[in-house]
Structure 1
Amino acid sequence: MIYCCEEHVDLAIDTVVDEYETFPQLTKIKEEKKLSTTCEYCQNNAIYVVANE
């Protein structure tokens, strides 16, 4: 599971596809959790969760 901002969503999708060889699920983070969750590629607020299941 990768938390990412709008800018890094493509990178997160590519990472999940490379690691798990499956199409990832893209889920938008709920408003209350957005404030405390940061992108794994930069320190901006995360908007999406990219996961293999």
Structure 2
Amino acid sequence: MIYCCEEHVDLAIDTIVDEFETFPLLSKVEAEDLSTTCEYCQNRAIYVVANE
């Protein structure tokens, strides 16, 4: 599971596809996780990209 901002969503999707060879699931960050930061930069995460 990768938390990412708008700018890095493509990179997160590519990472999941490369690592797990499966179609990733893309969802918005839930209200309780609003303080979570992007794993590629320090911006606020907007999306969660996961393999399950």
TM range (shorter): over 0.9
User: What amino acid does structure 2 have at the position aligned with 1:41?
Assistant: Y
Distance 2:13 2:40 in 1: 13
Question: Which consecutive unaligned segments of at least 5 residues does structure 1 have?
Answer: none
TM-score, with structure 2 as normaliser: 0.94
Gap regions ≥5 residues in structure 2: none
Structure 1 stretches (4+) deviating beyond 3 angstroms?
none
The letter of the residue matching 1:12 is A
The correspondence of residues 1-53 of structure 1 with structure 2, limited to 5 A, is 1-34=1-34, 36-53=35-52
Aligned residues: 52
